[in-house]
Each structure stands twice: as structure tokens, then as C-alpha cells.
Structure 1
Amino acid sequence: MLQPAVRLVWLGQVPYAELLALQQRWLRRLQAEPGPEAGALLLCEPAGPVYTTGLRGGLTSEETARLRALGAEVRPLGRGGLATFHGPGQLLCHPVLDLRPLGLRLRTHVAALEACAVRLCELQGLPGACARPPPYTGVWLGERKICAIGERLGAGPGGARPMVVSAVEGTLRPTAWR
């Protein structure tokens, strides 16, 4: 039996708002047209500095105002976690997937994303990158988090199919966002 296809889409350098719009279009397509594709991995580099905040916040109103005054976009998202920086020089991977035909549970999916990030670090000559045990997500190099993973799980048509919309961002140059 053939594995369901996952399409890889390289977007190049794009504004964050455009990336989110594309992600929503892919999700609607996947929900409306169940078929042989299990989804897509949207890969890009942010065109400018963006700070996204999760359901737990992560930025005070003063920090938000300061970042906007410096020219950064601040965008609240419906994902878990706190604040995450996205900017030029980073690789963002936004998977839009139906996990069921892939035979994956959410935690297995997250672990696979972490393993990919660890392998990428190894290929770039950065040994020692590792994921931490749940409930933590992401990849660390020493004490520096170099890959963040934010997930939102929703239902497909009729509420029967688990759909995952993810954001994976990483940089090979660990930086602080403050």
C-alpha cells in the first residue's frame, strides 16, 4: 500500500501574513478534499521580524509597544506556548497535515519534527542538539532553544479527521528575542 503523499512547498522569503493565509488555504483544501495527499509542508524564510504569541501570552503591552516601535510585527496566534521570534535567516516549516492516513499521533508527529531538527543541526556541524522529554517541545543546543514547535490540532470534515497545523522555526545561530 502506498504512503499518503505530503507535498513540500518552498515559498522563499515571504511576509508572515502571507504565510498564514497560505496555511489557512491549505487547511481548507485538505478539509474539503480528502484524497491521496496527507497535506503539505510549507517552507519559507520570514521577510521581516515577527513575534508571535501563543494562548499563554508572553509579551507585556509595554514589550509589544517597544517591539512595534522598532519595526517588528507582533501577532497573537491560536497556538500553545508563549512568544516566539521569527525573522530573516530562519527556516520556518508550517506543516498542514491530516495525521490519520499517516498513522501518526500528535506526540509522534512532534517527536519526528524534533528528530528532523536535531539531524539538521548534525548536518550543519552542530553536535549535541537534543529534544527534551514531554511536556517540553523543541530542540536545544546546550541551554539555548534553537527550534520551537507550536501545534494546533483541529478536526477535519465532520469532526472525524485529526488535522494538525504546525509552526516549526529554527535558526542555526541561537539568539535571544529580548
Structure 2
Amino acid sequence: MSVRAVRVLRLGAVPYAEALRVQERCVAAARAARGAAGPGAALVAARRGGHITFHGPGQLLAFPVLDLRQRRLPLRAYVAGLEALVLRLCRRLGLRSARALPPPFTGVWMGDSKLCAIGVHCGNHITSHGLALNCCTDLSWFEHIVPCGLEGKGVTSLSHELGQHVAVSHVLEPFLDSFQEVFECTLVSSEEPGD
């Protein structure tokens, strides 16, 4: 299998609505490249799988914009790939008991607590949205919602599970390495969505 390049935009800490706008530009650029037509705590409607969730400081948000048809990757296999890359990262960090569960419990779990939420949208074979990995997230935000619509389940973070502060910056490079390994690609830094 040939290795494909995937551009990476590092936005840093930005409001979710801004990240969503950048993501929409990336999706439009991906559709245009293929020749397809493309169209604090804030409540933002998003076209992705799953129910309500929280995105905020201390989370690593990754929104891959990939053409699944070009990669010959079915949607369910793509979601499983996202789970696999987070599991690979967890193993690197020493969390051997992290696991993926069958739907509707998509994501990565530590016991009955979700460590990483996954919610994707796929339109015209192009993905958007993706995953939210709780690194050093203030977990009290989740007390105000039913995360992902799953009653009776908890939410956890890498910091909580490892018993030490784990910043997003600490896991970013191993996360990107895991992405390259699971999706058999090379990551290239980019400045703009259409680069």
C-alpha cells in the first residue's frame, strides 16, 4: 500500500466555533480538490454522529478531513481506526486497560468512563469532526450534560487515569505518530486549509 501525505493544521487553543469554521473550509477545499460541490462554553450545533458533548480547554480535538473513497476505507473502519490510534497512544502512555467497545459505545473507555469521544460526519465520502481526547480537561463540565447521550456512564481524562497532569502539548506528538501508523500516511504541516 502506498503511503499518502495528510496535511496537519495546528490551531492551538481556539473557541470551538472558530475550529468548526476552519474545519468547514478544509472540507470545502477537499471537495473542491476532488471536484465535488460543497456547501467559554457555547452551544454550537454540529453535523456529526452522537449526542451532546463538551469541547473545552484540556482536550485534544482532532478533526480529520479525509476522502474515504480515495483511501478505500469504509466509514465503520475509519471510526475503528480513530479508536485504534487513541488506544495506541494510551498504550504508549502506560494505560493498558483502555479499550474500545461496540456501538453505541463508540470511543475509548477506561472501565465505565469515556476517555475519548468520537463523533464523525461523512458527506460525499469526505469526513469531518472526529475525536475529543480528555487530557487535563476540567471534568466538572460534564456534570451539566449527559455526555454523548449515554446515561449512567462517566467521563475521565488522561490526567485522572495517570495520576499526574497531562497537558495536550505532552500527547500531541505521540498522537500524531499514532495517526501516521494507524492510517499509514505521512503528516505534513500546513498553514491554511487549502494548502
TM-score (norm: length of structure 1): 0.70
Partner SS, residue 21 of structure 2: helix
Matched residue, 2:25:
25
Deviation at 1:25, TM superposition (A): 0.5
CA distance in 2, matches of 1:121, 1:3: 24
Partner letter of residue 146 of structure 1? L
Deviation at 1:79, TM superposition (A): 1.9
**1:87 and 2:56 aligned:** yes
The unaligned stretches of length 5 or more in structure 1 are 36-47, 49-71, 156-161
Deviation at 1:97, TM superposition (A): 1.0
Q: Where in structure 2 are the equivalents of 1:46-57 lying within 5 Å?
A: 48=40
Contact 1:4 1:101 survives alignment (8 Å): no
CA distance in 1, matches of 2:55, 2:96: 23
Matched residue, 2:174:
none
Aligned-pair identity in percent equals 47
Matched residue, 1:96:
65
The unaligned stretches of length 5 or more in structure 2 are 144-195
Deviation at 1:7, TM superposition (A): 1.1
Matched residue, 2:184:
none
Deviation sequence 1:71-123 (CA, Å, 0-9, x none): x2111222222111111111000111101121211011111100111121222
**1:170 and 2:133 aligned:** yes
Deviation at 1:125, TM superposition (A): 2.3
Q: Residues 128 and 172 of structure 1: is their aligned pair in 2 closer, same or farther, counting only changes over 3 Å?
A: farther
Q: What CA RMSD, in Å, does the superposition of the two structures yield over aligned residues?
A: 1.9
Q: Which one has the bigger strand percentage?
A: 1
CA distance in 2, matches of 1:127, 1:2: 31
Matched residue, 2:11:
11
CA distance in 1, matches of 2:64, 2:80: 14
CA distance in 1, matches of 2:85, 2:3: 19
Correspondence for 1:143 among 87, 104, 112:
112
Deviation sequence 1:28-54 (CA, Å, 0-9, x none): 11111129xxxxxxxxxxxx4xxxxxx
Deviation at 1:154, TM superposition (A): 0.6
Partner SS, residue 128 of structure 1: coil
**1:128 and 2:91 aligned:** no
CA distance in 1, matches of 2:2, 2:90: 30
Correspondence for 1:113 among 82, 100, 111:
82
Higher relative contact order (CA 8 A, sep 6+): 2
Q: Which one has the bigger helix percentage?
A: 2
TM-score (norm: length of structure 2): 0.64
